[in-house]
Amino acid sequence: MNLLDRDREINLTPIFIVGNAGISLILLILVVILNGKMGKIASTRTPTLVELNDGTSARVAPLPHNERTSQAITNFVKEIMRGLMSWNAVRTDQSKKPEIDQGVQVGEHKVTTSASDSAYAISEDFRANFLKELGEQGKRTKIFKKLQYIFRSVRPKYFN
């Protein structure tokens, strides 16, 4: 009647130790397998087929992450210069209707939103002075206010 003796204590520590060792062994095997899979992925060639913004596919030459083509640099500079030097008083987002740009306050002057957004491509120590000078040039010529006036006068025709 040893089985019915309730005063006997059961020691669960060895069961937990064996269970913990078993789970640790399974996890170790999984880590080794995953490490091998990641090594296999890292050693594969870079894909040469990419999807463009319009949904079409194009073949490209694999490049290291720190190398840029002259065409990519040219496109970047064009977009930044277009944004910085644009005094277009109409903002056009792809999801919204065109609206009159209220500009961004830089010091005492305003610059267009596209100029303010594009200025983040310039280094921080030069950006603030550049935007202030750009705002002063715009104030001297009053081009921003003139463009806003022109676009407000044609607003019923183009913005409704």
Q: pLDDT (tens digit, 9 = 90+) per residue, 83-103?
A: 887 776 666 666 667 677 777
55 domain residue, yes or no = no
| Interval 36-59 mean pLDDT | 84
- Enumerate residues 6+ apart whose C-beta is below 8 A from 147: 87, 88, 89
Residue type at 67?
E
133 domain residue, yes or no = yes
Looking at residue 151, what is its pLDDT? 57
Q: Do residues 27 and 77 share a domain?
A: no
Looking at residue 13, what is its pLDDT? 92
Q: Do residues 149 and 85 share a domain?
A: yes
Q: Which domain holds residue 22?
A: 10-45
